[in-house]
């Protein structure tokens, strides 16, 4: 195990004073919800409601080339059908560009950003991690990607389910992209700024986002924002390394039996729902799940094979 100086280990539990709970589910509208997305939605919903918290829904529509027309509405309808009702208005990231631009300007004025002309192929040739070669070039932002100059990367953090997570130090110190060459805001910038702006106290999501968490925490620290707690749920996989995803056409849960699928998601999350629960109305299933929710029963692993 890598030895990390204690000062570089972020433990949100000790960094933050107790505040009313605000959680969120943040789907990208690139297709309908599948079983894997239901696990993230249900897990974040139950963790929020069992902590008497608010559960927000944010549509992460900042990558039009990957989006499917109408997927946002379909996702919201499916959440409602599954009894997962959100608090407050739904936030659309496409409407938050003023916030992203404002912070980008602030970081630029602090000398923490620079333009980069390297293509993906060039970086691959350098071994896959960006070396910072454009730092001194003073290129113009136009038609180039904007990177954050990472002075002190986060190399480890505590996840409430996965425990202490260590990040490859080279990756932790990589200057990552915050605005893409095509002018689109990068996921790490947008997600971090929205989590700060919406006052999220705990992020519950799939373990595929474990690595980017270190970058998001680093950005929060740079902006002097409080760091939320993190819970990364096991990913639903068909066999090791094969997660269900929109890209591999996992079936939509909108076409499945709602009660049975919810029961399966609760079982996947280790909650041991009684067999008879599946015959109850959906509202009763959700009530049972809130009343019996125990985070510690969820498997402490990044992947779990679907049975
Ligand atoms: N929008 C991301 C996705 O659908 C999730 C972002 C997050 O939960 O931080 O994969």
**CATH at 124:** 3.40.50.620
- Asked if the structure places residue 268 within a domain, the reply is yes
Q: How confident is the model at residue 221 (pLDDT cuts 50, 70, 90)?
A: very high
List pLDDT tens digits, range 130-169. 999 999 999 998 899 999 999 989 999 999 999 999 999 9
Q: Could you tell me the distance, in angstroms and rounded to a whole number, from the CA of residue 274 to the centre of ligand 1?
A: 31
Domain span at residue 72 reads: 12-305
Between the alpha carbon of residue 200 and those of residues 165, 207, 211, 300, the distances in Å are 21, 18, 19, 23
Q: What is the DSSP letter of 33?
A: -
- Whether the pLDDT of residue 13 is over 60: the answer is no
Number of domains in the chain: 1
Q: First vs last Cα of the chain: how many Å apart?
A: 32
State the Cα–Cα distance between residues 103 and 110, nearest whole angstrom.
11
List pLDDT tens digits, range 268-295. 999 999 999 999 999 999 999 999 999 9
Mean pLDDT of 67-76: 97
- Asked if the structure places residue 3 within a domain, the reply is no
Q: Could you tell me the distance, in angstroms and rounded to a whole number, from the CA of residue 6 to the centre of ligand 1?
A: 29
Helix, strand, coil shares of the chain as percentages rounded to 5? 40, 20, 40
Ligand 1 atom 7: residue of nearest CA: 26
| Protein residues whose CB sits closer than 6 Å to any atom of ligand 1 | 26-28, 60, 191, 205, 209
- Asked if the structure places residue 2 within a domain, the reply is no
- Whether the pLDDT of residue 7 is over 60: the answer is no
Q: Could you tell me the distance, in angstroms and rounded to a whole number, from the CA of residue 276 to the centre of ligand 1?
A: 33
- Asked if the structure places residue 5 within a domain, the reply is no
- Asked if the structure places residue 125 within a domain, the reply is yes
Pocket mutation for ligand 1, best pick of 209, 212, 246, 250 (most atoms within 8 Å of C-beta)? 209
List pLDDT tens digits, range 175-185. 999 999 999 99
What's the mean per-residue pLDDT of the chain?
93
Q: Could you tell me the distance, in angstroms and rounded to a whole number, from the CA of residue 27 to the centre of ligand 1?
A: 5
- Asked if the structure places residue 96 within a domain, the reply is yes
Between the alpha carbon of residue 84 and those of residues 29, 76, 200, 207, the distances in Å are 17, 9, 18, 21
State the Cα–Cα distance between residues 117 and 133, nearest whole angstrom.
10
H/E stretch holding 35: helix 35-50
Provide the 10 A C-beta neighbour count for residue 55. 22
Q: Which is the closest atom of ligand 1 to the Cα of 30?
A: 4
Q: Could you tell me the distance, in angstroms and rounded to a whole number, from the CA of residue 126 to the centre of ligand 1?
A: 29
State the Cα–Cα distance between residues 11 and 156, nearest whole angstrom.
9
């Amino acid at each position: 195990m890598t030895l990390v100086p204690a000062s570089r280990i972020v433990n949100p539990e000790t960094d933050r004073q107790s505040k009313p709970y605000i959680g969120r589910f943040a789907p990208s509208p690139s297709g309908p919800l599948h079983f894997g997305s239901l696990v993230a939605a249900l897990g974040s919903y139950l963790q929020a409601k069992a902590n008497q918290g608010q559960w927000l829904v944010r549509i992460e529509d900042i990558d039009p080339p990957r989006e499917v027309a109408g997927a946002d509405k379909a996702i919201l309808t499916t959440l409602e059908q599954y009894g997962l009702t959100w608090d407050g208005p739904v936030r659309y990231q496409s409407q938050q560009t003023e916030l992203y631009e404002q912070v980008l300007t602030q970081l630029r004025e602090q000398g923490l950003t620079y333009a980069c002309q390297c293509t993906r192929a060039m970086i691959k040739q350098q071994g896959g991690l960006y070396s910072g070669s454009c730092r001194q070039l003073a290129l113009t932002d136009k038609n180039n990607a904007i990177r954050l100059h990472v002075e002190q990367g986060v190399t480890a953090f505590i996840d409430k389910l996965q425990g202490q997570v260590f990040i490859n130090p080279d990756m932790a110190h990589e200057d990552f992209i915050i605005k893409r060459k095509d002018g689109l805001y990068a996921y790490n910038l947008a997600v971090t700024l929205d989590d700060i702006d919406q006052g999220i106290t705990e992020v519950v999501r799939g373990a595929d986002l474990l690595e980017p968490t270190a970058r998001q925490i680093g950005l929060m620290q740079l902006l002097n924002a409080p760091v939320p707690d993190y819970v990364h749920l096991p990913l639903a996989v068909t066999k090791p390394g094969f997660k269900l995803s929109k890209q591999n056409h996992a079936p939509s849960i909108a076409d499945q039996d709602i009660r049975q699928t919810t029961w399966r998601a609760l079982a996947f999350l280790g909650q041991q729902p009684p067999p008879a629960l599946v015959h109850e109305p959906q509202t009763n299933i959700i009530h049972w799940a809130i009343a019996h929710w125990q985070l510690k029963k969820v498997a402490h692993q990044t992947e779990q094979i679907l049975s």
